[in-house]
Structure 1
Amino acid sequence: MDLLTPSNLAVAIPAVLFAGISKAGFGSGAAFASASILAIMLDPGQALGIMLPLLMLIDMASLPAYWKKWHWPDARILLLGAVPGTLLGAVFYRMADPDVIRFLIGLIGIAFVVWQMMQKAGLLQLAQRRFGDGTGLVAGGVLGFTSFVSHAGGPAAAVYLLGQRLPKTTYQATTVLVFWAVNLFKSAFYAFMGIFTLQTLTFDLVLAPVAILGTWLGVRAHALVPDRLYFGLTYVLLTVTSIKLIWDALS
């Protein structure tokens, strides 16, 4: 089956552009949806195989803009949790049903947004403290697993990092670093398991300029959008992502 058809490109180009803008400017919250969009036209395995090199390209293109602006302690905790989570994702890729995981992460994402809104409205008086390392390790494990099976690690990272109340650039830089490392780690498993093919890699070469354009647009949007609006958009992206995860799980 030839992937380079007008209909496939018509779906893939906006999906990849969206992924670049989301990952480079808005914390990766909804970038995973690009693989789901591609799966409308393609086999899900092909969609995953196509998106991972492009996500890695977006990560690499984003890194210079956020170099050393990340919060290393939070990134380290997420990465420590992501290693076993990624390994678990690789082991269960062909046998485990990811729908339960999608459903739970969707519920957690929506619950977190509701929790934040209730706090801001004064309906909840909670202790103003950061999440502990245990929460970060769990979030990292979920991130690694869901990232491997569906590129859907963004919500788990967002739930943890938004709770750390980092400045917007620090938050964004931390997500860029974490997903660069996680995607690099899982790419070895993708290659070994045959998820990458000559067809998917050829398709990636055609879409690479679109990914770079989306990255540039995302970095520009991040620099121009004020903190309050930025985190409002991030909560919206997290909500949309979570609803999409629940929808995928139930359908």
Structure 2
Amino acid sequence: MWFYITAIPAVFFYGMGKGGIGGILGMLSVPLMALTVPPIKAAGILLPLLCVMDVIAYYYHRKNCNYTILKSMLPMALAGIAIAAYFMGSMPSNVVELLIGGLAMAFLAQTFLIKSTKVDNPIKGHLLNALSGFASTIAHAGGPPVSMFLLPKKLPKEQLIGTGVVFFLVLNFTKLIPYAYVGELEFENLITSAILLPVAFLGVRVGVLLVNIISQEMIYKISYIVLFFAGCKMLYSGIVGF
């Protein structure tokens, strides 16, 4: 019972993020579910749901993806997945949380205080995309690095959402390989994922409906606000983990 009290809102919020309302909203899902089950089990239950939500979101947003930018993002992101697969299960999750939280705060400080974000720094971009693949594999927390890469480009809201949707579609289906290898796609977890599937459908649909009535400025504001709170949460969890 307690598991579903945390899992239902976690999956719903992730679905809303997939629908377009703040792509990093889903960062809250694994920590929320981890209140009742081990984090790696929570991630294993979520992954099949993420793949289903990605397919639904792809149907709505596929035409808006900036495929030129996507092609530049994927090679290093896939490399990040490969690196994470090697360390999967051995790297403390709080170390990953500290790294991502610190980067999120550094990005926000640079954007709003220093005002000197360089959009076309290829080395920085490659590192952010690799970090996204790595963090997405360890804890489904690849949203902040992608936001740090995409937000400074000031894309139209449709392209911002569409590019993120297709990016994570590729990443999440690729992640099925290491998750299956470490045994987190076992029958029990898949049954739990199937039970939560209607919540995932509902979350994505709500996100899609809302994104059609919310302005581009509001989408960016939501993304920055969620990035701030997610970064704070990850920093706190990382520090407490020590």
With the shorter chain as reference, the TM-score category is over 0.9
Choose which of 86, 107, 112 in structure 2 pairs with 1:112: 107
Question: Is 1:194–2:189 an aligned residue pair?
Answer: no
> Aligned AA for 2:173?
L
Q: 1:134 aligns with which of 113, 120, 123?
A: 123
**1:27 CA drift (Å):** 4.2
1:83-110, Cα deviation, whole Å (9 max, x unpaired): 1110110100122224233212212212
The normalised TM-score by structure 1 is 0.91
Give TM-score, length-normalised by structure 2.
0.94
For structure 2, which runs of at least 5 residues remain unmatched after alignment?
Answer: none
| Contact 1:106–1:242 (Cα < 8 Å) also in 2 | yes
Match status 1:61 vs 2:56: yes
Equivalent residues, number:
240
Within the candidate set 146, 164, 173, 1:175 is matched to: 164
Matches of 1:74 and 1:234 in 2, distance apart? 19
Q: Give, in angstroms, the shift of residue 10 of structure 1.
A: 1.6
Alignment partners' CA distance in 2, 1:195 and 1:241: 25
Among 8, 13, 34, the alignment partner of 2:29 is 34
Runs of 4+ in 1 over 3 A off after TM superposition: none
| SS in structure 2 of the partner of residue 9 of structure 1 | helix
Structure 1 gaps, min length 5: 1-5
CA RMSD in angstroms comes to 1.5
Alignment partner of 1:206 out of 195, 205, 229 = 195
Separation in structure 2 between the aligned mates of residue 117 and residue 217 of structure 1, nearest angstrom: 30
- Contact kept in structure 2, 1:109 and 1:155, CA below 8 Å: yes
Measured in 1, the distance between the counterparts of 2:226 and 2:124 equals 22
Listed one character per residue, the Cα deviations across residues 159-208 of structure 1 (whole Å, up to 9, x for unaligned) are 00001111111000010000000000111111121011111110111100
Higher deviation after alignment, 107-116 or 171-180: 107-116
Matched, 1:85 2:80: yes
Query: Post-superposition shift, 1:130?
Result: 2.5
Corresponding position of 2:133: 144
Distance in structure 2 (CA, Å) of the matches to 1:245 and 1:160: 19
SS at the partner of 2:25? coil
Once the two structures are overlaid, the 10-residue window that deviates more, 98-107 or 43-52, is 98-107
